[in-house]
Structure 1
Amino acid sequence: MNLLLVDDEYHVRKKLLDKIDWKALGIARVLEAGDGEQGYEIAGHVKIDILISDIRMPRMDGIEMAAAIRELYPDCVILFLSGYSDKEYLRSAISLHALSYIDKPVSPEQVIAAVKEAVSYCSNLQNSAFASKIKEARLVRLLCVPKPDAGQLSSLLQDCSLSLLHFADSRTILIQILSGDGIPSGLTDKLGGLLTHSGLRYISGDHHDNILVIHLLSDKEQLVSSLTESFFQSLFQRASYLLKNTSYFIAVGVIAENIQEIYHSYQSAVISLQQNFFLGMNSVSFAGPSVSPEFVPDESFRRGLLGSVKQNDPDTCFLLLQSLYESYQQHPAGLISVVRENYYGILSQLFQHCLIHHFTFPSASNQQLWDVISSAATLRELHTIAVNLYQSYFDFIRTNESRLSVSGKLKKLIEENYGNPGLGLQFLSERLKLSQSYISQLFKQETGTTINQYIISYRIDMASSLLLKSDQKISDIAGCCGFTDQNYFTKLFKKYTGMTPSAYRGCIS
């Protein structure tokens, strides 16, 4: 077997070439290149069985070179050397189905293990049954691209003993594995046995690391278009026993009337996988027109949720979270990314509230919070994350309520009553049952500002928000924020913001 090692770092190549007994691994000839162009040029003269390549290189990168060499030698085994920063870049190489990704800095032991696996793979290609499965998997992947190469397509159809007639009535099924390290060993064969037992003709193969693609084909005995939704539900119910202890989504694409439409069936199944996020773990979705519009929570929802936190009202809070969850369930047409962003928003709102009030309730950085939200595979998991965090907050408040600082209690009262014209030292003193001089002194010590200054500042902040978000009259906004005299409100607003309320609203709009 011939092996080509491509890396623009000379010391990396030398280290591997000198420290590995290549012949003992079954490699007859080792060739080397310093960049992608040189590697591709070598491959044009010598058949390459195994390619070991760096990702980032000058002139031609490893991804581009590997794709070009794969065109020359479809059975060439690809091993990529990848640094941490290449992880996102590697996503573009997924269609190449590299056998392994060896992390940098590279150790000879890692390369030896990967080459042993590659040699075993190449040897297995001599086995006709193994080779047939590899060619079938290639055909499956080729049909998942918009415009497959006609020459490759014709060759693979012939190798798989298929004709265009088999695709005159076909359909794509996707099984996405959500748990573990991708598709479990032996699952493809077990599912194949179930499909064959059910009288179905098919070709299958993995696409990415965690998605199994099945293209159902028609013959004289069975038309795919005649299979009802209840048939598929029954089929997948039996498949669930093979998928036990595994979390998954199943999506069924639309009917394809010819081989050119297989890609459309595949794409429709990919889109349908979005519905599974709303349907829940181990669910089945069927591609088709959207039956419901996208749900978007309005601003009043967030205000109500924040209000329930400020009022220390867990019952209202959890009712609102449940209504959000049910609304999304009833409208499974939205983008998952938007749903995640909305949940991120309502949790960030909670953390911001804690930060403002100096609560030591456990929080997280924006990135940590987003990572937790991104890890949720279903709407139910997102809902559970939100409920658990809000429950933890209310538990924290209940446990620490007696220990909250005086300034914290005063701020809470001010935020809850800022629209009350009677809000002032006397009002706060009576609510807390503490003397006016005592709360004034403590508040100034803890915050660096007076209670009256804080009340005015908070009212101006609320008025500023209303000026931007509502069409209310300025006099009404003044009243909502506790100002009984509009002229006095205008004077204070200009003092704090540098402009009158009307100018502020006009300037921003």
Structure 2
Amino acid sequence: MKKVLLVDDEILIRETIRDTIQWEKEGFIYCGDASDGEVALPMIEQYQPDILITDIKMPFMDGLELSSFVRKNMPDIKIVILSGHGDFEYARTALRLGIEEYCTKPISSADLLVTLRQVSDKIDAARQEKLEIEQLKLEERRQASLTQSKLLNDLCSGFITTSEAVHLSSKLNLNLLSRYYVVVTADFRKLTLSDSFQENFLDDMKQAEHKLNLKLDGSNHLVFKRSKTEWVWILKFDSPEQTKQALDTVQQAQNQSMEHLSYSISIGIGSVQDRMQGIHVSFLEAMEDMHWRRLSRQNRHAMLESRNGSFEQSVFLDRAKFVEFLKIGSPAHTETFIHSFASILQHTDWHSSLIGYYILNDLTLEVFRSARDSYPNIANFDITLYELQKDIESIRTLDEARSYLIKLAEQYWQWRSGASDKHGDMLLKVKKYIHEHYDKDYFSLQDAADHVNLSSGHLSKVFSQENGQTFIEYLTQTRIRKAMELLQTTQAKSYEIAFLVGYNDAHYFSNLFKRVTGMTTRQFRKNGQYNKDLPTPEREEHKGFVSYS
């Protein structure tokens, strides 16, 4: 129902209008009346009426002055002038002020109701229009957010080249350019399977996400939600000092104790990159870091439950000390170090409790996480972890625990000694495969990964680290190089060349060619020169590769 306020200096008119209309039955609320504009103002502030009925000629503040004030400060209020003056000048002034209706006295209750219903319909129409506009704006913002999230996700996943990312971001008014980049990922997960605290859990999760967003907040930082539980931040910095300061903040959140919470937050940090194409590598490293930290937190939570909800922090082995020994210690001192290091386990019950398993598994997960950071190209990582965890299950004495720690150290050193470039043959096969299949429009990273029996994520990471460019950038470079050659050596049309080098969309190919070469295909065919100094497969034998031709 619409609220109505009446302003008139004649008490008889006020009482007549008030008493002769059944307001609620007609769909209105009569808020009250005032004798002049000055008295009406505080009532308007208090009741916020939808419709204001006012006389013109009143003492202290007349109807036109009141209408002018209301239109300026409360533009949603519709104003109906009810005046005994039929003078055209009054009507013209009222219309100039934006008055909805101008009625002359005397007016019957029936006629006034007709006017009020007309004004009410206009209010409903205006509100509906406003609602539809807000919904359209909300949908536009949602679509823009989805488009931005897809762009950022594709950039992190290595699905688009640097030039494509810059081109698409300019359309979204999104600034991707920076001196330094770091990717941070976070996974928010419920620790218990029980649904009894579902509502509180969701509230706690939203607060945790909000707090982490505030810590990573920055006008230059980019964020998107990758899945129901995962957030990704692309942090951008202008100097190494800014980068270090921000990463210190992230690491504090990363190492925060969360034993008292009903949920787990696992935060991964990638390496600092000075080129946009490095965002993909930083993202993969952050996801890997997050994965191992999540395993570690799950292990600690399982131990907490096995101890009925309480344990001393000192029950865990010093992970940082052990990893430091693996990195800088001497294998000749292994037995002496392990004997002292594991002394904290001398009172552990290995037969009737799982505490020993959780303690050693906690240390093992940290060693694996550190190894993955230092030597990202380790093969059969999960299989090795599974085998070591099976070894932990069979431990029944302190001496067996010490023997296991020696084995764990030896495994780490084996990874370290084998961390030299052993991917040359694999990368050679991948590049050869690219040059054999680049002309297929369906060719993808997954096809190449299947060819060398690796996961697409692992191949993408290794390819980027070893070549200084992502898989998709190398594939695009190969296709464009071949297109340049065909433009110079054949009379094939542009759309035919697009098909020959693996693009079924000629318009997309033309735009991409211009972004990469700075020329249209027509300009290149007329004025361009095939650059024989580009690193072609035939000449990579000088870098230790054989010819593909």
Taking structure 2 as the reference length, the TM-score comes to 0.29
Q: Which has the higher contact order (CA 8 A, sep 6+)?
A: 2
